[in-house]
Chains A and B, each alone.
Chain A
């Protein structure tokens, strides 16, 4: 009986096994790459808002502190979106007749809230609390980036679990003095490798990586 396969078929068989492995690996890699890409996480994407509120102008140019509007950031899980009245504190006089700000004025007049589009939206199965992060010396900038340089706010980080854990595993790399939490463009006066462990000790920061820290 004649042979069905030639001798070279052995090599092809081995090669195709290897190829299948590579293909499977590549596919898994591709899926992971897509999963953490900004296409899925929507990072670095400008989001249209009902009014083009510029943090670049209000924070960068005017030097208004984060807490002027986000009043509950130090005391509650939610940083707080300011009511329209906070806008009107200044805009009752500045640009008081600008057509651009008409949605703000009509919101104030009719007592109808502005519908801001949320930029940093964690999944509902994640518990996150702003106040504890602020108290432990996590700068706004560490997660939100240079807000003072953003005309429209965009999400600069993936907000994926891997990214949270980067800091939860090694908080000493990111912690800053409490007095600098709201500073934009902060640079440590002494090297972070010296300052970080000191602050971790001083503030009693724990490296919390158990599942139930965030998934509760």
Chain B
């Protein structure tokens, strides 16, 4: 009695077409499968293009980043200026800079020196950087007489072509930065042999004051109490 009544109710009350279509387990499974399969596709995450330095099966050496054909010169990239690119004037290493030596250039030089040179040469240029302390052959101090007499172009030349155990930094340090570093090396050399005569007369009294301890802003002497959150 009961099932009969039930089926009558279904046929009469529900709109035609929906009532007959039963939503079975197969349909459920199909929809679920579609949803799950859609989640697996990563096409948009990994588009058909190369990220920088991505590997490529297309080229024999497996690199997507192609190196330049030897002796290629980019348009406008011909390095004709011997002073700027080799530190030489008339074939001789020069003591002059191809750009004006400004406080800005020296500041840039200090920053780059501390990044690329200080690991071996030390921050004061004495040749006792951390990598030397770990066993690298110690470079000469910038403050020895031979290097104090060396022209600025010499430092540029060593950075560009390497010298002894030091490999060249042409790829890591751009040309302008190499000159900035040369200028900063000159400043370091001056700093280690400075005399009272180098200080302007009106600023000499400052020498008698106790040096102001300036810690880098990021590292307070005592760590501050953790902020309450």
Q: How far is the CA of A177 from the CA of B137 in the complex (A)?
A: 36
**Is the CB of B135 closer than 8 A to any CB of chain A?**
yes
Flag if B137 contacts A93 (CB, 8 Å).
yes
CB neighbours (8 Å) of A62 from chain B are: 119, 130-131, 134
CB neighbours (8 Å) of B62 from chain A are: 112-113
Interface size on A, residues (CB 8 A): 37
Q: How far is the CA of A143 from the CA of B55 in the complex (A)?
A: 25
A-B contact pairs, 11 of them (CB 8 A): A78-B52, A85-B167, A86-B172, A92-B167, A93-B136, A115-B55, A124-B51, A125-B44, A183-B219, A185-B218, A187-B223
Flag if B44 contacts A189 (CB, 8 Å).
no
Q: Which of B42-85 contact A (CB under 8 A)?
A: 44-47, 49, 51-53, 55, 61-63
**Is the CB of A94 closer than 8 A to any CB of chain B?**
yes
CB neighbours (8 Å) of A21 from chain B are: none
**Is the CB of A65 closer than 8 A to any CB of chain B?**
yes
**Is the CB of A208 closer than 8 A to any CB of chain B?**
no
Q: How would you classify the secondary structure of chain A's contact residues: helix, strand, loop or mixed? A: loop
CB neighbours (8 Å) of B216 from chain A are: 180, 183
Closest CB-CB distance, B38 to chain A, in whole Å? 14
CB neighbours (8 Å) of B136 from chain A are: 90, 93-94
CB neighbours (8 Å) of B220 from chain A are: 187, 189
**Is the CB of A204 closer than 8 A to any CB of chain B?**
no
Flag if B115 contacts A89 (CB, 8 Å).
no
Closest CB-CB distance, A97 to chain B, in whole Å? 12
**Is the CB of A99 closer than 8 A to any CB of chain B?**
no
Flag if A125 contacts B172 (CB, 8 Å).
no
- Best-surrounded residue of B130, B172, B224, B227 (most CB of chain A within 10 A): B172
3 tightest A-B CB contacts, nearest first: A124-B47, A123-B45, A65-B115
Q: How would you classify the secondary structure of chain B's contact residues: helix, strand, loop or mixed? A: loop
Flag if A180 contacts B218 (CB, 8 Å).
yes
**Is the CB of A165 closer than 8 A to any CB of chain B?**
no
Closest CB-CB distance, A28 to chain B, in whole Å? 14
Binding site for A on B (CB under 8 A): 2, 44-47, 49, 51-53, 55, 61-63, 114-116, 119, 130-131, 134-137, 165, 167, 171-172, 216-220, 223-224, 227
Q: Which of A140-185 contact B (CB under 8 A)?
A: 177, 179-180, 183, 185
CB neighbours (8 Å) of B55 from chain A are: 115
Q: How far is the CA of A179 from the CA of B107 in the complex (A)?
A: 12
**Is the CB of A83 closer than 8 A to any CB of chain B?**
yes
**Is the CB of A33 closer than 8 A to any CB of chain B?**
no
CB neighbours (8 Å) of B61 from chain A are: 112
**Is the CB of A36 closer than 8 A to any CB of chain B?**
no
Given that A68-B172, A187-B223 are known contacts, is A92 also in contact with B165, CB under 8 Å in the complex? yes
Q: How far is the CA of A62 from the CA of B130 in the complex (A)?
A: 6
Given that A62-B134, A68-B116, A93-B136 are known contacts, is A125 also in contact with B47, CB under 8 Å in the complex? yes
Flag if B172 contacts A93 (CB, 8 Å).
no
Chain A positions 86 through 120: 1 when the CB is less than 8 Å from some CB of chain B, otherwise 0? 10111011100000000000000000110100100
CB neighbours (8 Å) of A88 from chain B are: 167
Closest CB-CB distance, A33 to chain B, in whole Å? 16
Closest CB-CB distance, A7 to chain B, in whole Å? 19
CB neighbours (8 Å) of B167 from chain A are: 85, 88-89, 92
**Is the CB of A64 closer than 8 A to any CB of chain B?**
yes
Q: How far is the CA of A187 from the CA of B222 in the complex (A)?
A: 11
CB neighbours (8 Å) of B45 from chain A are: 123-125
CB neighbours (8 Å) of A85 from chain B are: 167, 171
Closest CB-CB distance, A123 to chain B, in whole Å? 4
Task: Return the contact of A186 from the options B63, B119, B218 (Cβ within 8 A).
Answer: B218
